[in-house]
Structure 1
Amino acid sequence: MATSIFFWVLLIRKYYFVAESHPYTSLDERPPQIQEDDTHHIFRNIDRGPTSRTPLCIRAYNSMSDECVEEWVAHHQWGPACTGTDLSAGLSIDGVWTWVNGSDPLQIATRQRYKPDKAMKMDAAHRYVEHNELLYSMRSALTSLGDDTMQRLHILASAYPHSNGSDEVMAGQIPYWLENNKALTNKSRIVLHHDADYFKLIEKPGTNFTSWERGEWKEAAIPTFNSLAVESQIQNIEDTSSDQLVYYNDDFFTLRKLSVSDFTTPLYGPVIKTLTRLTSMYLPAKDTFWRTINPAGEEPGIKRAAWVLGMRFSLRPYYYITHHPRTLWLPLLREAAQTFPEAFTDTALSRFRAQEDVPASVQAVFLGSWYVVERHREALLWTWTIAKWGGRSGTLSSKLKARMWNELANEESPSASRLSIPMPVRVPVKDRHVFQAANVSMPTSTEYSFSSKDGYALAYVDSTWPWNRPRHGYPDLTRGLLENNQTADGSKLLRDPSFIPARACVIKRSTCFESYTQNETANNFFRRIAFEKPECGDCIITALIGASGISGIDKFLPHHQAKIDPGLHADALTLPPHLPLTSDWATTDFSMTNAIPKGSLKTGMTLRTWCTRLIQRYSYVLGSVESDFYKVERANTLETKLDEVELKVEEELNTIGSSYSKSEDHTYEDWRSRLGWSRGPLAFLCLNDDVKDTGKLRDRIDELLMTFFDRMWPSRMSFEKQV
């Protein structure tokens, strides 16, 4: 890694870091004279050290007892052991906004100064024009979620070398409306971060860069004019109040009241919103021609991110993460960066999106989101193969493999050379009774399309036709359930014995088990089904989900009395459960003694509990919410669009108000089942700046936006300056 990074650092400094060789080329040849004022903060650019390689615990999960985790994760029951569990650590979020004032003379001059000699294929100046979107984006989010849910807000702002010519002194941008004394103290609900502070090199195991080397890397990365580079460093922000982040661009606006569970819950994990259309599918590519055709677009970074994931988890297509506020759990995003340090570090070196002759970038939000999904799949397969069947010996004999095959066969003939696995029949993704028992509010506008409690999402997407996936691209696994009228609780469900599910997939013994009569290590078996032949692992997960019944994952887990090497126990928990943080599965040892980190298995904790907590760490929901993406290009069409949005929001409020009190909290199901709608309400609006008008028409666009913003979100925030 060291050789790779510093090869690029030297290359960038030679060709792109032109601070000394190129004067400013703006009309004013001298840099703007900037002092500490309402819109700039002067500070020293100091070495803040590398990103820590210690994985972070998830506080909400730590609040659950081992007994509660067994009930909830293993059996999907919120039972007596969970009663009274304090989930408050998982019921708040920190909002994170990226922002740059592209109208600032310092930003304009610095952007020109660092622009590469070689012409880029896209003039990105329009990406930086200031329309005061940040203020109203933040107002809209706070109005929607309230102070109790959104407890802290973070602005990721840009900083540039100070006009004194020294790169050790930086001038950081500040929104003109923000109370500086609150935002810069880190003791307020609002925290202002400058890229020069949170851009940090992350080291690969075995490397130990000096302060000078870290400075060289940072000098090659800062200042940046690339939002993808900023996204690659979100995991480094400090002074967060919660583990759950919601990441907003400053052109994202929230149109209605939402619940924390529209974004995340400690029950189901982060809500990752995806599109599973064929046109939204991305094939992995190490190097892609899209970097030549559309270097400033999303495709190169997404396809590269898919390739990075594929090197660790097996190559497969992935689907687009929708372009509205995105949920990121800080411990898991940090872990993704620790797993792929080179991908995150290299992305930060691209000052401009369309810049050539720098390392290929990844879209970090896409990578971090699908990383959670892949880690959950890996945890399920590792638990079943290595923890449950491999055990302390780490060896799978022919007799053990025969028993594994029988378990997968479930009710089929175990002598078959192939198993036809039916679609599982499972309880609904979200259960109103569980939300009520756990004292967690229901989502108001988001469909929970698929939950990790039902296995690996992409296995169903890959094996079923789109018309058999009615839940925004994911299957409805509740078909085949009956209400159990013999119980007082109407929420209890049973499988209909007469229901015949469709086939989900096929497991071939010769392909997945290979040498059925010979011994082999559990490590080799796991690597084969998880990575070498991923279709085997996908179908095995589906089979075990079905064999576990209508809820729970019991068939994956080792027995309560399963033995474990005493040397793996520690006196105190210092690390969360996780598997190796390596970037290439082919060079990774997944054997139990190597895979379980020292300090993650406390004395007295069973192997079953450790595995259950491992699986819980990567819980997730794939969901969908109604949003509108609009390119702001011309004044005449913008006026019509803003009127349409405002009218639609008002009509939806009146519609729900005609059946229920407007002050009442309404769930997604209220909109769909009770009102007969085919969708939820419009929740988000993105006004993407791509203005084509000039002169007075551009001024008209500013006027239209400000009028719309003031009308929609007039309430001031506590950290705004008094007018």
Structure 2
Amino acid sequence: MVTSIFFWVLLIRKYYFVVEPYPYTSLDERPPQIQEDDTHHIFRNIDRGPTSRTPLFIRAYNSMSDECVEEWVAHHQWGPACTGTDLSAGLSIDGVWAWVNGSDPLQITTRQRYKPDKAMKMDAAHRYVEHNELLYSMRSALTSLGEDTMQRLHILASAYPHANGSDEVMAGQIPYWLENNKALTNKSRIVLHHDADYFKLIEKPGTNFTSWERGEWKEAAIPTFNSLAVESQIQNIEDTSSDQLVYYNDDFFTLRKLSVSDFTTPLYGPVIKTLTRLTSMYLPAKDTFWRTINPAGEEPGIKRAAWVLGMRFSLRPYYYITHHPRTLWLPLLREAAQTFPEAFTDTALSRFRAQEDVPASVQAVFLGSWYVVERHREALLWTWTIAKWGGRSGTLSSKLKARMWNELANEESPSASRLSIPMPVRVPVKDRHVFQAANVSMPTSTEYSFSSKDGYALAYVDSTWPWNRPRHGYPDLTRGLLENNQTVDGSKLLRDPSFIPARACVIKRSTCFESYTQNETANNFFKRIAFERPECGDCIITALIGASGISGIDKFLPHHQADRDPGLHADALTLPPHLPLTSDWATTDFSMKNAIPKGSLETGMTLRTWCTRLIQRYSYVLGSVESDFYKVERANTLETKLDEVELKVEEEGPLAFLCLNDDVKDTGKLRDRIDELLMTFFDRMWPSRMSFEKQV
């Protein structure tokens, strides 16, 4: 049994602070007597066990043969080995909406009941008011993508203790317009999830919580009134039809036809949309004063998430994930939670964003998105250092390190003590010939600003001036290619010999290779360049990308016949390729023996293939799309704004997403006017009913 301080805190909170039954002083304070009806589902609150620690395969990548993976990932060519590959598993998405009906009397009463005794700056009550946004947000998404692309829709709804305040029976909210029998059964077109069902404790390695301990955690977390807590549990939802999720707040609306490639592709991975302005950069912080100044905002959770990432991947600033629909691959989000179990489970303990008697929260979508980027960087460096050069022995001799230095030197003198690394010249990120050959639709509204096929994104952002980053904060690496010479597989793309690229970075031999005249373990060398001296790893990646030519990552990979331990093979691949799921790099053993456990390679699979699939697992695109964020505060300004949006839609402009954030300041008749304006706008924009709506 675990006897950690964590559970003592839960017990103290249970009996002295939050979870103690509310001492009602009048009949008006008692929860309404809720029955099973059109807006509530009554169910028992049961223990559904912990979140599994087994990583999930990515189905679209499993459909690619080893030969196709070599061709596409190692050389970035969609050629004969990939012909006929069925990528359908990666060409659909599940939409996920977080929703709460804050106008529900049960929600209002329960919110007051669980409000901590200590005064805190809570979200204003109007933030919870229901404007029927969910219905039209879902209609807009389906209208935009179509039912073939968005095959299943999920609603993450709230549930509250039923009637007498007991947490054994819950009353879960249901949108009034939803046909309940179509949402409460598995495998339906739409699935309704209540937080009491999908909130689950994630166990740390070597720790098995008892059902009592899981119950204590859940009792401290449910009911919740915090969207950050909800987002920390998305990886636990069941009955998904695809690996690719697009997460919506209920005030997100899609304004034009989009392709699945605007969100994700099995070619390049999830499309993560970021802002790289200086004002959108977040420095990591374990605890921030923003938790006191602006406790209900996103900033404390983002800074904390950056710190959690830094403990595993090295501390550095990260950029904001834009506030419109966000792409999350379920296997990778689940893996992020498995890597950082405390961060995810602690966040769920904050019933309210501004609560102080609980551990600090993280913004899970921000953490899960940048986790993919950092894992890709780690996979590149691990493959080059440990798999390619360290090999079975795990030792880097002075001679081997000299050869590694020579590989980085490329055309420079290998005897130099420092290497000046030029900006790579690479094939376009969004290559229509590749999309056509793979039978994947092109994005209609999203600019692919940067792809992981060209290395580590943040290294380029850090080393280039803003005016040299035209692609929404990321450099255009195609400058230096000759124009109009592209073939379907990219094989005849040519560099302009007269083009002189700018310097990207410098690798110092004494800093990055340190004891280059002595033997050392590949594990120690890897930790130094990847985490202790992250600028070394960043620049090494840039150098190897450039040395690999205008496409591909061949220079990172072991040779085809690289030595491998035959004990690593098994009859079938039981786990997807991944590196240790640990939250602290300093205490992690990255040696090949530890990173590739026995039985991790399918019989016949080479070490090169395993590494190539490892790198492919964390593929991603950083992109941007035209969107508009508007705070709904006053009726007079809202009317003008909605007219402006409709005009843009009629003109078929580039605007793809709209967020109507509820921050209403008006009261009385003016507030009623806001409701009228919104409903009229919604009905005009998205009149088509969905199959699971009730007949009126």
TM range (shorter): over 0.9
Q: Are the counterparts in 1 of residues 274 and 319 from structure 2 also a CA contact under 8 Å?
A: yes
- The structural deviation recorded for 1:26 is 8.2
Residues 1:184 and 1:14: Cα distance change in structure 2 (over 3 Å): closer
Report Cα offsets for 1:371-422 as digits up to 9, x if no partner.
0000000000000000000011111011100000000000000000000000
Q: Distance in 2 between matches of 1:132 and 1:289?
A: 35
Q: Secondary structure at the match of 1:168?
A: strand
Report Cα offsets for 1:25-74 as digits up to 9, x if no partner.
78712220001000000000000000000000000000000000000000
Q: Are the counterparts in 1 of residues 486 and 493 from structure 2 also a CA contact under 8 Å?
A: no
Partner of 2:672: 699
Report Cα offsets for 1:240-282 as digits up to 9, x if no partner.
0000000000000000000000000000000000000000000
Residues 1:40 and 1:548: Cα distance change in structure 2 (over 3 Å): same
Q: Are the counterparts in 1 of residues 43 and 169 from structure 2 also a CA contact under 8 Å?
A: yes
Residues 1:258 and 1:224: Cα distance change in structure 2 (over 3 Å): same
Q: Are the counterparts in 1 of residues 313 and 531 from structure 2 also a CA contact under 8 Å?
A: yes
- The structural deviation recorded for 1:597 is 3.4
Residues 1:389 and 1:718: Cα distance change in structure 2 (over 3 Å): same
Q: Are the counterparts in 1 of residues 229 and 348 from structure 2 also a CA contact under 8 Å?
A: yes
Report Cα offsets for 1:143-163 as digits up to 9, x if no partner.
000000000000000000000
- The structural deviation recorded for 1:357 is 1.7
Residues 1:71 and 1:113: Cα distance change in structure 2 (over 3 Å): same
Residues 1:637 and 1:484: Cα distance change in structure 2 (over 3 Å): closer
Report Cα offsets for 1:218-254 as digits up to 9, x if no partner.
0000000000000000000000000000000000000
Q: Are the counterparts in 1 of residues 77 and 489 from structure 2 also a CA contact under 8 Å?
A: no
Residues 1:16 and 1:353: Cα distance change in structure 2 (over 3 Å): farther
Residues 1:383 and 1:695: Cα distance change in structure 2 (over 3 Å): same
Report Cα offsets for 1:89-143 as digits up to 9, x if no partner.
0000000000000000000000000000011123431221000000000000000
- The structural deviation recorded for 1:516 is 1.1
Residues 1:539 and 1:210: Cα distance change in structure 2 (over 3 Å): same
Q: Distance in 2 between matches of 1:485 and 1:43?
A: 63
Residues 1:24 and 1:497: Cα distance change in structure 2 (over 3 Å): farther
Q: Distance in 2 between matches of 1:460 and 1:15?
A: 52
- The structural deviation recorded for 1:16 is 6.9
Q: Secondary structure at the match of 1:138?
A: helix
Q: Are the counterparts in 2 of residues 8 and 358 from structure 1 also a CA contact under 8 Å?
A: no
Q: Distance in 1 between matches of 2:290 and 2:529?
A: 32
- The structural deviation recorded for 1:706 is 0.1
Q: Are the counterparts in 1 of residues 75 and 554 from structure 2 also a CA contact under 8 Å?
A: yes
Report Cα offsets for 1:285-318 as digits up to 9, x if no partner.
0011111111111110000000000000000000
Q: Are the counterparts in 2 of residues 579 and 597 from structure 1 also a CA contact under 8 Å?
A: no
- The structural deviation recorded for 1:487 is 7.3
Moved beyond 2 Å, runs of 4+: 1-27, 483-492, 597-600
Q: Secondary structure at the match of 1:426?
A: coil
- The structural deviation recorded for 1:496 is 1.1
- The structural deviation recorded for 1:591 is 0.2
- The structural deviation recorded for 1:489 is 8.4
Q: Are the counterparts in 2 of residues 578 and 597 from structure 1 also a CA contact under 8 Å?
A: no
Report Cα offsets for 1:455-492 as digits up to 9, x if no partner.
00000001111111000000000010014759798983
- The structural deviation recorded for 1:14 is 4.4
Q: Distance in 1 between matches of 2:106 and 2:456?
A: 49
Q: Distance in 1 between matches of 2:487 and 2:621?
A: 29
Q: Are the counterparts in 1 of residues 433 and 487 from structure 2 also a CA contact under 8 Å?
A: no
Q: Distance in 2 between matches of 1:181 and 1:164?
A: 26
Q: Distance in 1 between matches of 2:534 and 2:418?
A: 16
Q: Are the counterparts in 2 of residues 26 and 109 from structure 1 also a CA contact under 8 Å?
A: no
Report Cα offsets for 1:332-383 as digits up to 9, x if no partner.
0000000000000000000000111210000000000000000000000000
Partner of 1:629: 629
Q: Distance in 2 between matches of 1:584 and 1:75?
A: 33
- The structural deviation recorded for 1:9 is 4.2
Q: Distance in 2 between matches of 1:599 and 1:332?
A: 22
Question: What is the aligned length?
Answer: 696
Q: Secondary structure at the match of 1:481?
A: coil
Report Cα offsets for 1:600-655 as digits up to 9, x if no partner.
31111000000000000000000000000000001000000000000011112xxx
Q: Distance in 1 between matches of 2:488 and 2:509?
A: 45
Q: Are the counterparts in 1 of residues 11 and 216 from structure 2 also a CA contact under 8 Å?
A: no
Residues 1:489 and 1:246: Cα distance change in structure 2 (over 3 Å): closer
- The structural deviation recorded for 1:4 is 5.2
Q: Are the counterparts in 1 of residues 487 and 493 from structure 2 also a CA contact under 8 Å?
A: no
Partner of 2:457: 457
- The structural deviation recorded for 1:507 is 0.1
Q: Distance in 2 between matches of 1:537 and 1:290?
A: 32
Q: Are the counterparts in 2 of residues 339 and 581 from structure 1 also a CA contact under 8 Å?
A: yes
Residues 1:422 and 1:630: Cα distance change in structure 2 (over 3 Å): same
- The structural deviation recorded for 1:571 is 1.5
Q: Distance in 1 between matches of 2:126 and 2:414?
A: 64
Residues 1:290 and 1:483: Cα distance change in structure 2 (over 3 Å): same
Q: Distance in 1 between matches of 2:341 and 2:568?
A: 27
- The structural deviation recorded for 1:572 is 1.1
Q: Distance in 2 between matches of 1:425 and 1:519?
A: 34
Partner of 2:261: 261
Q: Distance in 1 between matches of 2:261 and 2:489?
A: 24
Q: Distance in 2 between matches of 1:299 and 1:15?
A: 31
Q: Are the counterparts in 2 of residues 157 and 174 from structure 1 also a CA contact under 8 Å?
A: yes
- The structural deviation recorded for 1:164 is 3.1
Q: Distance in 2 between matches of 1:19 and 1:549?
A: 61
Residues 1:487 and 1:365: Cα distance change in structure 2 (over 3 Å): closer
Q: Distance in 1 between matches of 2:485 and 2:598?
A: 49
Q: Are the counterparts in 2 of residues 275 and 473 from structure 1 also a CA contact under 8 Å?
A: yes
TM-score w.r.t. the length of structure 2 is 0.98
Q: Distance in 1 between matches of 2:176 and 2:664?
A: 23
Q: Matches of residues 569-648 of structure 1 in structure 2 within 5 Å?
A: 569-648=569-648
Q: Distance in 2 between matches of 1:626 and 1:15?
A: 50
Residues 1:141 and 1:2: Cα distance change in structure 2 (over 3 Å): farther
Partner of 2:656: 683
Q: Are the counterparts in 1 of residues 29 and 109 from structure 2 also a CA contact under 8 Å?
A: no
Q: Are the counterparts in 1 of residues 55 and 334 from structure 2 also a CA contact under 8 Å?
A: yes
Partner of 1:46: 46
- The structural deviation recorded for 1:541 is 0.1
Q: Are the counterparts in 2 of residues 17 and 114 from structure 1 also a CA contact under 8 Å?
A: no
Residues 1:16 and 1:373: Cα distance change in structure 2 (over 3 Å): farther
TM-score w.r.t. the length of structure 1 is 0.94
Partner of 2:542: 542
Residues 1:394 and 1:26: Cα distance change in structure 2 (over 3 Å): farther
Residues 1:33 and 1:72: Cα distance change in structure 2 (over 3 Å): same
Q: Are the counterparts in 2 of residues 340 and 582 from structure 1 also a CA contact under 8 Å?
A: yes
Q: Are the counterparts in 2 of residues 224 and 350 from structure 1 also a CA contact under 8 Å?
A: yes
Q: Are the counterparts in 2 of residues 9 and 220 from structure 1 also a CA contact under 8 Å?
A: no
- The structural deviation recorded for 1:20 is 3.8
Residues 1:703 and 1:75: Cα distance change in structure 2 (over 3 Å): same
Q: Are the counterparts in 2 of residues 25 and 112 from structure 1 also a CA contact under 8 Å?
A: no
Residues 1:698 and 1:621: Cα distance change in structure 2 (over 3 Å): same
Q: Are the counterparts in 2 of residues 263 and 327 from structure 1 also a CA contact under 8 Å?
A: yes
% identity of equivalent residues: 98
Q: Secondary structure at the match of 2:37?
A: coil
Q: Are the counterparts in 2 of residues 160 and 170 from structure 1 also a CA contact under 8 Å?
A: yes
Q: Secondary structure at the match of 1:156?
A: strand
Q: Distance in 2 between matches of 1:411 and 1:584?
A: 37
Q: Are the counterparts in 2 of residues 16 and 115 from structure 1 also a CA contact under 8 Å?
A: no
564-573 vs 166-175, greater mean Cα deviation: 564-573
- The structural deviation recorded for 1:567 is 1.2
Q: Are the counterparts in 1 of residues 433 and 489 from structure 2 also a CA contact under 8 Å?
A: no
- The structural deviation recorded for 1:506 is 0.1
- Gaps (5+ residues) in structure 2? none
Q: Are the counterparts in 1 of residues 122 and 352 from structure 2 also a CA contact under 8 Å?
A: no
Q: Distance in 2 between matches of 1:505 and 1:77?
A: 28
302-311 vs 8-17, greater mean Cα deviation: 8-17
Report Cα offsets for 1:160-199 as digits up to 9, x if no partner.
0000332100000000000000100123110000000000
Residues 1:548 and 1:14: Cα distance change in structure 2 (over 3 Å): same
Residues 1:608 and 1:682: Cα distance change in structure 2 (over 3 Å): same
